[in-house]
Chains A and B, each alone.
Chain A
Amino acid sequence: MSASTSYGARPWTFYVLASLFTLFVIFLYGPMFGVLILSFQGPSASLAFPLRDPSLMWFDELFNPRRTGDVVGALGRSLPLAVIVMVLTVFISVAAGFAFRRRFWGATAIFYTAIASLIVPGLVLSIGTLVTFRYLGLTASWYGSALGAHLSWALPFGLLIMFAILGRLNPSYEEAAYDLGASKWQTVMGVVVPIVFPGMIAVALFGFTLSYDEFPRSWLTVGSKNTLPLEIWTMTTNVTSPALYALGTVTTVVSFIVIAIALSSIFLIQRKRSRGK
Chain B
Amino acid sequence: MNSIMTKPIQASGMVAHQGSGEIRLTNITKQFGNSYAVRDINLTIPHGSYCCLIGPSGCGKTTILRMIAGHETPTSGEIHIGGQMVVGKPPVERGTAMMFQNYALFPHLSILDNVAFYLKMRGVGKEERRRKAQEMLQRVQLDHLKDRMPAQLSGGQQQRVALARSLITNPKLLLLDEPLSALDEFLRLRMRGELKSLQNELGITFVHVTHTQPEAIALADMVVVMDTGRIDQADTANTIFNRPKTPYVARFMGGQNVLTGTVEENAAGVVKLRSAGGSVFEAKAEGAGRVPGAQMSISIRRDRIMLRRRGGGADTAGLNAIGGVVEATEYQGSYVKVTINVGGGVFVANVSDDAHFAEPVVMGDPVVVSWNAADVHVLSKVDTGAAGDPYLDGIP
Smallest distance from the beta carbon of B264 to chain A beta carbons, Å? 56
CB distance from A56 to the nearest CB of B (A): 45
Q: Does A173 contact B (CB under 8 A)?
A: yes
Nearest A residue to B151 by beta-carbon distance? Answer: A274
Bound complex: CA A273 to CA B147 (Å)? 11
A contact residues around B106 at 8 Å (CB): 173, 176-177, 191, 194-195
In whole Å, how far is A214's beta carbon from the nearest beta carbon of chain B?
A: 34
Binds B, one of A122-130, A146-154, A178-186: A178-186
Interface size on A (CB < 8 Å)?
25
* Best-buried of B69, B97, B108, B151 by chain A (most CB within 10 Å): B108
User: Across the A-B interface, how many residue pairs have beta carbons closer than 8 Å?
Assistant: 78
Evaluate whether A177 and B117 lie within 8 angstroms (CB atoms) in the complex, with A276-B147, A277-B147 already known: yes
- Given contacts A175-B71, A175-B100, A276-B148, is CB(A182)–CB(B121) below 8 Å? yes
Interface residues of B in 166-194 (CB under 8 A from A): 166, 169
The listed residue (B110, B120, B165) touching A276 by CB distance below 8 A is B110
Residue numbers in B under 8 Å from A10 (CB-CB): none
Interface members, chain A 256-277 (any B CB < 8 Å): 269, 272-277
Alpha-carbon separation in the docked complex, A177 to B108 (Å): 13
Q: Is the CB of A276 within 8 A of B121?
A: no
Interface residues of A in 154-204 (CB under 8 A from B): 170, 172-173, 175-183, 186, 190-191, 194-195, 197
Q: Tell me if B104 is interfacial: C-beta within 8 Å of chain A.
A: yes
B71-87: contact bitstring with A at CB < 8 Å (1 yes, 0 no)?
Answer: 10000000000000000
Q: Is B279 an interface residue (CB 8 A)?
A: no
Task: Say yes or no: is B332 at the interface (Cβ < 8 Å to chain A).
Answer: no
Interface string of A69-89 (1 = CB under 8 A from B): 000000000000000000000
The answer to whether A179 touches B108 (Cβ under 8 A) is: no
Assess whether A176 is in contact with B108, with CB atoms less than 8 Å apart: no
Residue in contact with A179 in the complex, picked from B97, B101, B107, B147, CB distance below 8 Å: B97
**Nearest chain B residue, comparing its CB with the CB of A176:** B104
How far does the Cβ of B38 sit from chain A's closest Cβ, in whole Å? 19
Q: How far is the CA of A56 from the CA of B243 in the complex (A)?
A: 92
Given the known interface contacts A172-B100, A172-B102, the answer about A181 and B122 at a Cβ–Cβ threshold of 8 Å is yes
Chain A residue nearest to B152 (CB atoms) is A276
If A175-B71, A179-B91, A181-B92 touch, does A186 touch B104 (CB 8 Å cutoff)?
Answer: no
Option from A170, A173, A182, A274 in Cβ contact (under 8 Å) with B152: A274
* Chain B 142-162 per-residue mask, 1 if CB under 8 angstroms from chain A, else 0: 000001110110000000000
Q: How far is the CB of B348 from chain A (nearest CB, A)?
A: 38
Pairwise interchain contact A275-B118, C-beta atoms closer than 8 A: no
The answer to whether A175 and B104 have CB atoms under 8 Å apart is yes
CA distance A274 to B71 in the complex (A): 30
Q: Give the distance to chain A from B101, nearest Cβ to Cβ, in Å.
A: 7
B108 engages A170 (CB within 8 Å): no
CA–CA, A145 and B12, complex, Å? 68
Contact B101 A172 (CB under 8 A): yes
- Bound form: Cα–Cα A89–B100 in Å: 34
CA distance A272 to B117 in the complex (A): 19
Q: Does B90 contact A (CB under 8 A)?
A: yes
Of the listed residues A170, A173, A176, A269, the one surrounded by the most CB atoms of chain B closer than 10 A to its CB is A176
**CB–CB A274/B149 < 8 A:** yes
Residues of A within 8 A of B102 (CB): 170, 172
Residues of A near B110 (CB, < 8 A) are 276-277
Q: Considering the chains assembled together, what is the distance between the CA atoms of A172 and B148 in angstroms?
A: 21
Write out the residue numbers on chain B whose beta carbons fall within 8 Å of the beta carbon of A182: 117, 121
Is there an interface contact between B152 and A179, defined as CB atoms closer than 8 Å? no
CA distance A277 to B113 in the complex (A): 13
| B69 contacts A179, C-beta separation under 8 Å | yes
Q: Is the CB of B104 within 8 A of A273?
A: no
- Asked if B224 is at the interface (CB within 8 A of a chain A CB), the reply is no
B70 smallest CB distance to A (angstroms): 8
Q: How far is the CB of A277 from chain B (nearest CB, A)?
A: 6
Are A180 and B117 also in contact (CB < 8 A) when A172-B104, A191-B106, A277-B110 are? yes
Given the complex, which residues of A lie within 8 Å of B100, measured CB to CB? 172, 175-176
Q: How far is the CA of A177 from the CA of B98 in the complex (A)?
A: 11
Near A by CB (< 8 A), chain B positions 256-312 give none
Counting from the closest, the 5 A-B pairs by CB-CB distance are A176-B104, A172-B104, A194-B108, A181-B92, A180-B118
Can you report 8 residue pairs joining A to B where beta carbons are below 8 Å apart?
A175-B71, A179-B91, A179-B97, A180-B92, A181-B122, A195-B106, A273-B149, A273-B151
New A-B contacts (16) at CB < 8 Å, excluding given A182-B121, A194-B106: A172-B101, A173-B104, A175-B98, A175-B100, A176-B100, A176-B165, A179-B69, A179-B70, A179-B166, A180-B118, A181-B121, A181-B169, A190-B120, A194-B108, A195-B106, A276-B110
Mark A residues whose CB is within 8 Å of B: 170, 172-173, 175-183, 186, 190-191, 194-195, 197, 269, 272-277
